[in-house]
Structure 1
Amino acid sequence: MTALGFLYPGHSAEDDYPRIEQLLSSDIRLDLVHTDIGEDAHRVDALRAMGSPERLAAGLEQLRLSGAEAVVWACTSGSFVHGWEGAHEQVRGLARAAGMPASSTSFGFVHALREIEVRRVAVGATYPDDVAELFAGFLRAGGAEVTGVRGAGIVTAAEVGAWGEREVFALARSADTPDAEALLLPGTALHTVAHIPALEKELGKPVLTANQVTAWEALRLTDRRVNASRLGALFTREPVVQV
């Protein structure tokens, strides 16, 4: 049994994780601990505070008791707002405090792109434009070429968590660009796991979403590779064919 630990901010789309665990269909357990988000606002100062060392450390003892072998800060905006170097320092501090390998959703996106050998990406973010552009800058620092960024202007994670299939598909369609090799949907507050195969089929390219890459990043940290076609191209490495 491989136990994977996640620090998840607040309550929005955490039900994606039991769904992922079920779709992995393996001896893998996903243990999730909720962290205090403070102010629910996609604003740089609030996001920096949400990912502070004190808030992240508060949930670590519960994960250690669960037997987790690695921990991922399951928040995209709460990591990339610190910038490339700041986000590295954040996960280094998390690893030291946890006593186990650590990463974050933002780095999960960067590592996932390398895994599927994709460089040109489009971004569809629920965030306000300024925060979405910070994510694009983080991706560029990681070696990606961002062909387009579409922000939805949503301020709170609570509102994002209420989005359904219609809103997710509308964001994906509006954000995709013809020259993008993959579409990225950041935001762990967004329910996406149930929609990934259909999104990839419609767009004809890999779709990477926050909770999907967060789980994959935890598997990477523990040197596990799982083939799970219902979690998209990232979990199969097979090319996406548009129908």
Structure 2
Amino acid sequence: MTALGFLYPGHSAEDDYPRIEQLLGSDIRLDVVHTDIGTDAHRVDALLEMGSAERLAAAGVEELRMSGAESVVWACTSGSFVHGWEGAQEQVRTLAVTAGMPASSTSFAFVHAAKEIGAGRVAVAATYPDDVAGLFADFLRAGGIEVLQVRGAGIITAAEVGTWGEEEVLALARQADSPDAGAVLLPDTALHTATHIPALEKELGKPVLTANQVTVWEALRLTDRRVNAPSLGALFTREPIVQV
């Protein structure tokens, strides 16, 4: 049994994790600990505080250690990339020391996952306001990923994002897609996507990377595990995406 730990801010789309655990269909356990979200707002000041070292240190890493977790991922994209590349690196270094295990964040997961599938050029479909979506694009560029197009939905709170269903997710992905993009990225962990990935990839005819999907993949990567799970999209299978 491989146990993976996640620090998830608040309560929006955390039910993606037991669903992903089921879809993995393997000897893998996903342990989710909720952090205090503070102010629920996709604003730079609120996001900086949400991902502060003090807040994460008090978030329950001891609980994850006791559960036998072998890695931990800060399951918040905006609460990591808002610190910039260097700041996000320091964030996960501090988390690794505090937790006593390999650590990462969803922002780095996107960079690693895009490279894993060979998507050097991407489009971003973000639920965030435009300024925050732009910071995510800057983070990707710092990681060596070319961003061709960014579409922000302008949603302020994670609570609202958590109410979106497949129709809204598909619409945002279609609006953001670029013909030259090797993948479309949906960066919000408050967005339910675990059950929508096959439909997204079929609709767009290319790999789609979503926040909770890449977060789990990153935790597996930190433990040197690779799992074939086609229902979780191209990232979890070597089978090519059929262009339609």
**Same-fold status (TM-score > 0.5):** yes
2:229 equivalent to 1:222: no
2:111 equivalent to 1:104: no
Residues 33 and 64 in structure 2, CA contact (< 8 A), matched pair in contact too:
yes
Question: Which residue pairs with 1:47 in the alignment?
Answer: 47
Where do 5+ consecutive residues of structure 2 fail to align?
none
Offset of residue 206 of structure 1: 0.2
Offset of residue 107 of structure 1: 0.3
Give distance in 2, aligned partners of 1:163 and 1:109: 21
Question: Which residue pairs with 1:174 in the alignment?
Answer: 175
1:207 counterpart letter in structure 2: V
SS in 2 for 1:89: helix
Offset of residue 183 of structure 1: 0.2
2:187 equivalent to 1:153: no
2:144 equivalent to 1:143: yes
Where do 5+ consecutive residues of structure 1 fail to align?
none
Residues 150 and 176 in structure 2, CA contact (< 8 A), matched pair in contact too:
yes
Offset of residue 242 of structure 1: 2.6
Question: Which residue pairs with 2:205 in the alignment?
Answer: 204
Question: Which residue pairs with 1:57 in the alignment?
Answer: 57
2:16 equivalent to 1:31: no
Offset of residue 53 of structure 1: 1.1
Residues 202 and 242 in structure 1, CA contact (< 8 A), matched pair in contact too:
no
Task: Give deviations 1:88-112, integer Å, cap 9, x for gaps.
Answer: 0000000000000000000000000
Residues 119 and 181 in structure 2, CA contact (< 8 A), matched pair in contact too:
no
2:240 counterpart letter in structure 1: P
Offset of residue 55 of structure 1: 1.4
Residues 3 and 69 in structure 2, CA contact (< 8 A), matched pair in contact too:
yes
Give distance in 2, aligned partners of 1:179 and 1:115: 18
Question: Which residue pairs with 1:7 in the alignment?
Answer: 7
Q: How many residues are matched?
A: 243
1:142 counterpart letter in structure 2: G
Give distance in 1, aligned partners of 2:119 and 2:150: 17
Residues 127 and 154 in structure 2, CA contact (< 8 A), matched pair in contact too:
yes
Task: Give deviations 1:111-135, integer Å, cap 9, x for gaps.
Answer: 0011111101000000000000000
Residues 41 and 156 in structure 1, CA contact (< 8 A), matched pair in contact too:
yes
Give distance in 1, aligned partners of 2:117 and 2:181: 13
TM-score, length basis structure 1: 0.99
Give distance in 2, aligned partners of 1:97 and 1:159: 32
SS in 1 for 2:196: helix
Question: Which residue pairs with 2:74 in the alignment?
Answer: 73
Question: Which residue pairs with 2:236 in the alignment?
Answer: 235
Question: Which residue pairs with 1:162 in the alignment?
Answer: 163
Give distance in 2, aligned partners of 1:242 and 1:193: 22
Give distance in 2, aligned partners of 1:108 and 1:238: 21
1:53 counterpart letter in structure 2: A
Give distance in 2, aligned partners of 1:210 and 1:239: 21
TM-score, length basis structure 2: 0.99
1:19 counterpart letter in structure 2: R
Give distance in 2, aligned partners of 1:232 and 1:166: 18
